[in-house]
Amino acid sequence: MAGTSTTLIAAIAALAAGVVEPEAARRDPVAAASEAIAAALVPIGLAHALAERCRSVDPAGNGVRAAALADWRRRNAVRPFEVALAAVAARAPELTDGHGRMRAAAAAQAAETIARDPAACRRLPQTLADPHYRIAPVTTRAAPLLHRLAAALDRATARHHAAR
């Protein structure tokens, strides 16, 4: 399946070039694409982990946090990014191997943050307004590129099967 690997690397290079600094994408396109995806996934994971952890710590604030999280997801185009990433993962699961570890790390960080400062639950809406959580520039650029990567993987798979 060498053709698929070549197409995958080329598609990843295109993804990296579209969402990270061009020089970084040229040096190591796979690492650059991974970094670009992580730049969105880390805040997404932390936002969800904090909200989830706060559900039991501060149940009275669940409605406010849910509304803040939904608004944050909308403003940062999280759903389209997740859909595009899922399309790639369905075709090349090896590209998303580390996502489970990333979610576990986010859950651990959320638990530690809230154990240290339970008031962090009340501040979640303000936390989501922090510049570190402004990921729309990454998600809005990455989503169409991820869809193109999924399509390129489909074409490579079709060519591979046709060559058999």
What is the full per-residue pLDDT of the chain (164 aa) written as tens digits? 444 444 444 444 455 445 555 565 555 555 656 677 878 888 999 999 999 999 999 999 999 999 999 999 999 999 999 999 999 889 888 777 778 888 899 999 999 999 999 999 999 999 999 999 999 999 998 888 888 888 888 888 888 788 87
Tell me: the pLDDT tens digits for 42-78? 899 999 999 999 999 999 999 999 999 999 999 999 9
**So what's the pLDDT on residue 5?**
43
Of 139, 161, 128, 148, the C-alpha closest to 38 is 139
How much is the pTM? 0.79
Q: For residues 76 and 110, give the distance between their C-alpha atoms in angstroms, rounded to a whole number.
A: 20
Residue 83 belongs to what H/E stretch? Answer: helix 78-91
Concatenated DSSP letters of 89-157:
HHH-GGGGTTHHHHHHHHHHHHHHHHHH-GGGTTTHHHHHTSGGG--HHHHHHHHHHHHHHHHHHHHHH
**Res 7: pLDDT:** 43
DSSP single-letter state for residue 130: S
Show me where the domains of the chain are located.
2-163
